[in-house]
Each structure stands twice: as C-alpha cells, then as structure tokens.
Amino acid sequence: MTAVDVVVMAAGKGTRMKSRIPKVLHKLGGRPLIQHVIATAQALDARRTIVITGHGADGVEDFLRQSATAGGRAVPDFVRQEPQLGTGHAVQQVVPVLPDDGIALILNGDVPLVRPATLQALIDRCAGERLALLTVQMADPTGYGRIVRSGDAVQAIVEHKDASESQRRIGEVYTGFMAVPSARLKNWLSRLTNDNAQGEYYLTDIVQLAVQDGCEVVASPAVEQVEVDGVNSPVQLAELERAFQLRQARALMEQGVRLADPARFDLRGSLQCGQDVEIDVNCVFEGEVSLGDNVRIGPNCVIANARIAAGAVLQAFTHIEGEKLGVEVGEGALIGPFSRLRPGAKLGPEVHIGNFVEVKNSTLARGAKANHLAYLGDAQVGERVNYGAGSITANYDGANKSRTVIEADVHVGSNCVLVAPVTVRAGGTIGAGSVINKDTEPGKLTVARARQATIAGWTRPKKQAK
C-alpha cells in the first residue's frame, strides 16, 4: 500500500463571501469548513496533511494548530503561497515538504462535504501509478474545468475561460480533487506555464503533461453533487449547511431517533442518542450532547454540552448551555418550558425545573423541585426540596462567590433570598419573603421579614387645594 499525503488548498481569498473572516474559517455545522476537510483526511489514515495557506494565513494556521492540539491530533504542516498565482502555483509550494514515495491527495479547503469513501475510491484508482481525477456531471458547468476526452481516454482539463464553444458544451467537469503519484506530480509541476486566459499556473494543466508522458489518467465520478460543491458565497454556505444537516438528521433517523421534521433540526457538534428518543421541531444541539433512552425534547430547545439521562423530558424553549463544566439532567427529570440550565447544573433523577428558572453550578438531588421564576447558583440542594417561586440564592457579594446548602426535605417559600454562604438544615421551612443570612435549624419554620401590622387611624393623603 502506498502512503497517502493529503494536500489541502486554502490560500484563496473567497472574495464573494464579502467577509473579513478567511473563507475556510466560515462555519458549517458549527465547525470551520477546513475542519471538515481535515477530519475527512484523517478518516483516510493519511501519513501527513499539508495545508496551503495565503489569505488570512495566520488565522487559518492558528485555528488548525489549536484545534489539533485540543483534540490530541497531529498539527498539520503549513506552507504559504504568497502571492496567489493559481492552483498549480499553490501546489508548487508543497514540493519541498511532500515525500516522493507517496500518493498526493489534493483537496479543497472550501469543499466540506466530500465523503471519505469517495476519496478512498479516488486513491484506489490512482494506486500509486495513475492520475485519478474526481469528476461530476453538471447541468450547468459554467465556470468549471471541462474534462476533454478522446474516445474514452481523458486528454486534458480545459478551464471555462480557455474553452472553445464545443468544449463548453461538455457537462463533465473537474471537481478540484485528484490523487496523483507524488514524484510524477513534482515533475509535472516544474513544467507548468501560465500561458492561458487568466495568466495563472493551472494545476489542471498536469493532465496534458501526464498524457504526454504516457501516464494513464482516469476520471472517477462523484456519486453525489453536494459532495463536491464548494462554498463561494453566503448563499452556497447556507445551501451546504442544509445539506449537511439533512445528512446528519438522516443518520440519526436511521439509528431510530424520531425527528418531527428533519428539515428543522440543527446539530453543530455530536449527538449520541439511546432508543426511542423524540425530538420536536427547531431544536439546536451544540458541542457534545447525549440523550438517554426515551428522552423527549420539545420544540425550540437549544442544548449544548449536556448529558440527558433516560426518560427525561425537556419541554419547549428550554435552553441548556453546559460549556466546559457540562450540564447533567437525571433520569425522568422534567425541565421546562422556558428553563435555563447553565454550566455545572447537575440535576438528579425526577428533578423538576419549571418556567423561568435558572440553575448554574448547582447540584439538585432526587426529586428536588424549582417550578417557577427562581435562581439557584452555587447551591447544593437535597432530595425532595421544594424551592418556591421567585426565590434566589444571593451567591455573589460583588467579589466572591459563596455556596448555599439546602438540605433534604426543605421547603423554601416564595420570594426568599438565601444569602450565601448559608445552610438551610434538613426538613426546615422558610417563610415566604424571608432574607436568610444565618444557618437555620432543622425541622423548624424560619421567618425573616417584618411582621404584618395594621395601622389604626391612618388615612390616605388627600390632594392639597392651591
């Protein structure tokens, strides 16, 4: 087996994006375009990955360096192409770092949806000796390089701007992907000229050189158009986003996940699902999310970096953002509608969190409930606690965060402020409207508010005559 070295072209400007962000860093499914390409290359067990950068090179290289390091993967090699004198000139920059004994697999940093199997087929067609081109039939091939054949044999790729009228009628086009023996590639690259309509060094001119040298050129057709579609504009980015989301939605449905509408589903990361999971419309999943058996997600939920245990129900408009600490929702918990779970919210089994309740960096034990309009931050909440509407933990004194402990079976009335650090002992009850800043006694009622009084002889003020 010949080793495969991946070359990713990512120096181009992407003028039509009309953005300051380098094109290959625009996101699809929550990840930059180029990361999709690199991930696909990794699935092929490539020996090395070389990325050609130019426009926005620092940003692109920094991103790839950081994401590889964070993911425990090898950082790709970078070569710079400055100025950009065409695709052939781009690949010429790779020559010093490309080993001679492998197959060079040339990919486009802005074509995110190509599948590993398609590239593997291209590598297999190359087999270390042929020039293998990935091609596709297009109804409107305007702008693309045409595959010119004589009989069956590929003779050349002719760029649209250089093509004759009859060549422009050819529907078979070059997709920008090829697999080529590296030693031969280097030889052909050294012979490129820029004698063409755009005055550029075309990588595609190596096809004629291969034919001249008696090297077999094969065209390997792509199965699906969307695999070879590039991103040049926000419109194309949005189109590929939908194609990508549909691909992910299908894969989940094939595993048995029931999506109310695959066209209204967005996954920007990874989603693990157990059996009999149901997801209603317009939900967005980000980062790493797992859903246990029988989990039901209502419409319009946003869920990032969370583990939802079996049988939990998230009702409409629930917002969960686990960030680095993560969020855990226990078995059979009932969350929402309109609940907000923030980093470090760890909810045990059968916990209920209702509308307009925010939980941050807090653990709630089995059966605890906070059903309406409340805040729990930096708190430890025991089993079966009932936390009243409008109550909050005052966990921040303007400088430091402190913890609140609410032991098992406590009832906190409505509109209470628990001023941390403070402990409410087991089985205690806190009267509505209390401000609690000292630890309370177990099993007792604690009230900390002014007594109600009726003022005798009081009359409402009257408007003075002027």
Under rule CB under 6 A, residue 176 binds ligand UD1? yes
Under rule CB under 6 A, residue 145 binds ligand UD1? yes
Pick the catalytic residue from 36, 89, 372, 411. 372
Q: How far is the CB of 212 from ligand UD1 (least distance, A)?
A: 18
Site mask for ligand UD1 (CB under 6 A), range 15-54, x = bound:
-------------------------------------x-x
Under rule CB under 6 A, residue 135 binds ligand UD1? no
Task: Assign residue 143 a region (left: φ > 0; alpha: ψ between -120 and 50; beta: otherwise).
Answer: left
Residue number, 53 or 305, with CB nearest to ligand UD1: 53
Choose the binding region for ligand UD1 from 9-17, 67-75, 264-272, 279-287 (rule: CB under 6 A).
9-17
Residue number, 173 or 424, with CB nearest to ligand UD1: 173
Under rule CB under 6 A, residue 336 binds ligand UD1? no
Q: How far is the CB of 230 from ligand UD1 (least distance, A)?
A: 5
Under rule CB under 6 A, residue 86 binds ligand UD1? yes
Residue 87 has which token pair? Answer: 């695709």
Q: How far is the CB of 17 from ligand UD1 (least distance, A)?
A: 12
Question: Is there a cis peptide before residue 421, judged by omega within 30 degrees of 0?
Answer: yes
Residue number, 159 or 407, with CB nearest to ligand UD1: 159
Q: How far is the CB of 375 from ligand UD1 (least distance, A)?
A: 49
Query: Could you give the CA distance from residue 180 to residue 104 in angstroms, rounded to a whole number?
Result: 5
Q: What are the helix (H) ranges across 16-168?
A: 33-43, 57-70, 87-92, 116-126, 165-168
Task: Assign residue 131 a region (left: φ > 0; alpha: ψ between -120 and 50; beta: otherwise).
Answer: beta
Under rule CB under 6 A, residue 159 binds ligand UD1? yes
Among the listed residues 454, 374, 453, the one whose alpha carbon sits nearest the alpha carbon of residue 415: 374
Under rule CB under 6 A, residue 177 binds ligand UD1? no
Per CB under 6 A, which of residues 49..78 are in contact with ligand UD1? 52, 54
Burial of 143 (0-12, 13-18, 19+ CB in 10 A): exposed
Which residues fall within 8 angstroms of residue 293, CB to CB, at 6 or more apart?
274, 275, 276, 277, 310, 311
Choose the binding region for ligand UD1 from 107-115, 258-266, 335-343, 348-356 (rule: CB under 6 A).
107-115
Per CB under 6 A, which of residues 197..226 are in contact with ligand UD1? 202-204
Buried/exposed 91-126: b ≥16 CB within 10 Å, e otherwise? bbbbeeebeeebbbbbbbbbbbbbeeebbbbbbebb
What is the three-class DSSP state of 419?
strand
Q: Identity (one letter) of the amino acid at 114?
A: V
Choose the binding region for ligand UD1 from 71-79, 106-114, 187-195, 206-214 (rule: CB under 6 A).
106-114
Under rule CB under 6 A, residue 174 binds ligand UD1? yes
Among the listed residues 416, 409, 395, 420, the one whose alpha carbon sits nearest the alpha carbon of residue 442: 409
Is 372 an active-site residue? yes
**Alpha carbons within 13 A on the beta-carbon side of 319:** 9
Residue 286 has which token pair? Answer: 């980000």
Residues that bind ligand UD1 (CB under 6 A): 9-12, 52, 54, 81, 84-87, 89-90, 108-110, 144-145, 157, 159, 173-176, 202-204, 230
- Catalytic residue positions, numbered: 372
